[in-house]
Structure 1
């Protein structure tokens, strides 16, 4: 976890530098670029993905490869769109860097546990949902906190990630709780373990991944919001967005989606695989 935290901290710094450098370019030129056509010509799709999120996208420090549900789904969608020789390129992103990297043209699409919200839809265009997540809380086993309501009663410190809508939701569902924001999930989990907060909040799928890797911690109280994940593309890339939706539909119909879902979530305690099947 320490290695991963250091990696993500270094990547975030480099990503921000890249954003600053590329933002000097012409955004108008990027807006006119046909991403789908360019991807067909290069036979590649560049995806912005998480590298710190168990089950969805996590860097394997032994292989230096990102692995997870979203990675496998992106690979399958790439081949569905470009053919069997199509190549998926993965760029690790954080909640803070994903939209700037997309808008600057460093990535073609974001598949990084990004919830579809009206505010975000003002900046990017979303495909339909590919994962029906919901916000929950993770606590140490034996904690007196059993639900989000307990956070409000006790005035607890809740850990979240900067740039995620989970932080805003806590203000709505537990207004008396104090929120401490960290730069990524690895740092947030480290803070929970060190006692800097009594609970960590984000989408349930992410928390299930943390509980699998850390048996001393558990997800409690069920989901208290609906947080559907969508793939984000730049405004004006309607052909690309429609093609992504078509690829997702095909993978759902031919069983590929369910195979990938079961591979990563089928044996996760508390996860309702049958409810999520397409």
Structure 2
């Protein structure tokens, strides 16, 4: 996984701000939840078939309902327009797909909001599951449960408009680009193996960003969520020009559940099921490739 300074890791993992994709994402959700950490009351209007009776057997915080938490606000491409009840955005769509797999109708999905830190802190939870790009780590596993991962971060190229890297759509085109990476990162091996060039190495992602801003490099290679964040929050006229296929070693994102939750196994089984039947792949393509215009380099 990429080597980052502490400050950039915290900013990135808590906020993947994609203002260009959803300009209204900074507006607080209206009528969709209460204050951070308290149960929400509104439900989705997405069309899902009626819930089978199996859902009634699950031990949820509210009987017959599936309470899903996310951040306040929630940003695109994870949640579109800060409205998870719409089912639009990668994590919103994953939540409804898992709920459906568990036997819940869309009307039985209730959204609430929490902070990132409170969700992974020890203790009772006011939600059944929480998703806001939580990376699975051994330390966090001591305090909470994780489901099977629903996403492994791919590597991507971020640059600025007007740079030759902005129009690069193929691996061959990237050979002509001066690419920067953080030392010890997965990005280095991906650029080396897939593009066939040796990128310039910097001590951290922060140093690499400074190099891009000063013109020392024309683009940066890093994990896709970090690329989203940098393009919209750190770089002027930032753009994610594309992502690499089959890049391994990235962080794994999963649902967070209360430690020892009886829902951990059913939710993991539901994630595994939508991965097996192709639903998860389709959601990933729609929201993390097509919708954000980050095609896979050929």
TM-score band, normalised by the shorter chain?
0.5 to 0.7
Who is 2:187 aligned against?
Answer: none
Alpha-carbon spacing, 1:173–1:123, altered in 2? closer, same or farther (3 Å): farther
Who is 1:80 aligned against?
Answer: 101
Match of 2:265 among 242, 260, 275: 242
RMSD: 4.9
* More helix, by proportion: 1
Whether the 8 Å CA contact 2:28–2:82 is kept in 1: the answer is no
CA distance, structure 2, for counterparts of residue 175 and residue 272 of structure 1 = 22
2:274 is the counterpart of 1:251:
yes
Give the secondary-structure state (helix, strand or coil) at the position aligned to 2:125: coil
The aligned runs of 1:96-111 (5 Å cut-off) are 96-100=117-121, 103-111=123-131
CA distance, structure 2, for counterparts of residue 120 and residue 37 of structure 1 = 24
Who is 1:119 aligned against?
Answer: 139
Give the secondary-structure state (helix, strand or coil) at the position aligned to 2:36: helix
Match of 1:231 among 250, 255, 280: 255
Alpha-carbon spacing, 1:82–1:202, altered in 2? closer, same or farther (3 Å): farther
Who is 1:42 aligned against?
Answer: 63
Match of 1:174 among 176, 200, 204: 204
CA distance, structure 2, for counterparts of residue 45 and residue 201 of structure 1 = 38
CA distance, structure 2, for counterparts of residue 253 and residue 202 of structure 1 = 28
The aligned runs of 1:112-261 (5 Å cut-off) are 112-134=132-154, 138=158, 140-141=160-161, 142=163, 146-149=179-182, 174=204, 177=207, 203-205=223-225, 207-208=227-228, 216-219=237-240, 226-237=250-261, 239-261=262-284
* More strand, by proportion: 1
Match of 2:77 among 55, 67, 79: 55
Deviation string 1:10-53 (CA, Å, 9 cap, x unpaired) is x9x9427x59xxxxxxxxxxxxxxx9733397221111224432
Using the TM superposition, give the Cα deviation of residue 95 of structure 1 relative to its aligned residue in structure 2, in angstroms. Answer: 2.6
Using the TM superposition, give the Cα deviation of residue 146 of structure 1 relative to its aligned residue in structure 2, in angstroms. Answer: 4.0
Whether the 8 Å CA contact 2:25–2:74 is kept in 1: the answer is yes
Count, aligned residues: 214
Who is 2:186 aligned against?
Answer: none
Q: TM-score, normalised by structure 2?
A: 0.54
Q: Which runs of 5+ in 1 are unaligned?
A: 20-34, 151-171, 180-192, 194-198
Q: Which runs of 5+ in 2 are unaligned?
A: 1-18, 40-55, 166-176, 184-201, 214-218
